[in-house]
């Protein structure tokens, strides 16, 4: 369930392109007093099973780490309960409060046809939960997530699993965006799923090519995220730097966050450099 949040936040930095931006989705972090290097991996929260590349150097570096640090601790036994309690709009608002009768009927029929889900019984779900229903239909294949696979590896080596933020922290992001805008964005995206599928494939290709600069450019042009760069990513990146430093000083750790958190002038790569760390790209292959 929490993966839905990550997919809605997506995995892309919402800043304008930076000339000469570092490329790559896997990085070694050293310097600034660290006795041993730690590692930073940018992930895609959902992709086709045959495209998930997890082996070789990634497995080696995770095996040598004391902990796997994700955006949220997906191994928390209380996670499902926390999510269930926050699925619906706290004020009882419904999608029908924000769409016309015609728009609601239109999107209900479309989702039934494309996803097999009837939102008639889900009218009070928060917009990001409704959006999460769409993403599997964008990939016509069996899907996997890096986070789930990394957790399996971490457990096999007895590494601890932690999160950079709590469920409440992550969900509070959406509290800062007006509901009418969230529902409108959901409606417009759902009504053009073919376009969404093409864009999603372009984003997956940019990730496969480890082209952070292109990811930054594509999302900076995305109307549903353009106005909320600071809320959705920049502020979260800034909040993560201090706990990242603490964990790295305690021993080698392996960070895995959405790839969009890496690039741009407010991305983790640049913010860590600003703190005095050295970052070196590692080829995944």
Mind listing the pLDDT tens digit of every residue in the chain (285 residues)? 333 334 344 333 332 333 344 689 999 999 999 999 999 999 887 888 888 877 789 999 999 999 999 998 888 777 777 777 788 898 999 999 999 999 999 999 988 887 888 989 889 999 988 888 887 777 777 888 889 999 999 999 999 999 999 888 888 888 888 899 999 989 988 888 888 888 888 888 888 889 887 876 776 666 555 677 777 788 899 999 999 999 999 989 999 998 888 988 889 999 999 999 999 999 876
Tokens 């709009």 found at:
89
CB count in 10 Å sphere of residue 40: 26
What pTM was estimated for this model as a whole? Answer: 0.86
| pLDDT value, residue 22 | 64
| pLDDT value, residue 158 | 93
| pLDDT value, residue 223 | 56
| pLDDT value, residue 243 | 96
CA-wise closest residue to 280 among 17, 20, 12, 23: 23
Its domain, for residue 82, covers 2-281
| pLDDT value, residue 176 | 85
Please give the structure tokens belonging to residue 162.
């932690």
| pLDDT value, residue 230 | 75
- Which string of DSSP letters, residue by residue, matches the chain? -HHHHHHHHTT---S---TT----SEEEEE-TT-SS-EEEEEE-SSEEGGG----THHHHHHHT-SEEEESS-TT-TTHHHHHHTTSB-TT---GGGTS-HHHHHHHHHHHHHHH---GGG-TTB-HHHHHHTTHHHHS-S-EE-HHHHHHHHHHHTT-EEEESS-HHHHHHHHHTS-HHHHHHHHHHHHTTHHHHHHHHHHHHHHHHTT-HHHHHHHHHT-HHHHTTHIIIIIHHHHHHHHHHHHHHHHS-EEEEEEGGGTSSTTSHHHHHHHTT-EEEE----
Domain tally for the chain? Answer: 1
């Amino acid at each position: 369930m929490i993966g839905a949040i990550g997919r809605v936040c997506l995995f892309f930095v919402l800043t304008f392109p930076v000339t000469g931006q570092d490329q790559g989705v896997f990085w070694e972090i050293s310097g600034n007093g660290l006795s041993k290097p730690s590692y930073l991996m940018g992930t895609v929260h959902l992709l086709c099973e045959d495209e998930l590349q997890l082996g070789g150097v990634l497995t080696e570096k995770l095996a040598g780490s004391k902990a796997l640090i994700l955006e949220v601790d997906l191994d928390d036994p209380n996670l499902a309960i926390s999510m269930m309690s926050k699925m619906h709009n706290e004020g009882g608002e419904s999608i029908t409060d924000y769409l016309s009768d015609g728009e609601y009927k239109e999107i209900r029929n479309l989702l039934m046809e494309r996803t097999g889900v009837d939102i008639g019984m889900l009218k009070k779900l928060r917009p990001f939960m409704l959006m999460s229903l769409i993403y599997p239909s964008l990939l016509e294949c069996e899907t996997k997530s890096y986070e789930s696979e990394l957790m399996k590896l971490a457990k096999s080596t007895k590494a601890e699993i932690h999160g950079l933020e709590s469920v409440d922290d992550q969900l509070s992001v959406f509290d800062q965006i007006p509901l009418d805008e969230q529902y409108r964005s959901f409606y417009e995206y759902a009504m053009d799923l073919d376009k969404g599928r093409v864009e999603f494939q372009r984003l997956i290709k940019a990730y496969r090519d480890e082209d952070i600069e292109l990811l930054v450019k594509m999302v900076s042009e995305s109307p549903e995220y353009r106005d909320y760069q600071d809320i959705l990513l920049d502020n979260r990146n800034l909040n993560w730097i201090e706990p990242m430093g603490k964990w790295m000083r305690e021993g080698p750790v392996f960070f895995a966050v959405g790839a969009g958190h890496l690039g741009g002038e407010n991305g983790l790569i640049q913010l860590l450099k600003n703190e005095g760390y050295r970052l070196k790209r590692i080829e995944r292959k």
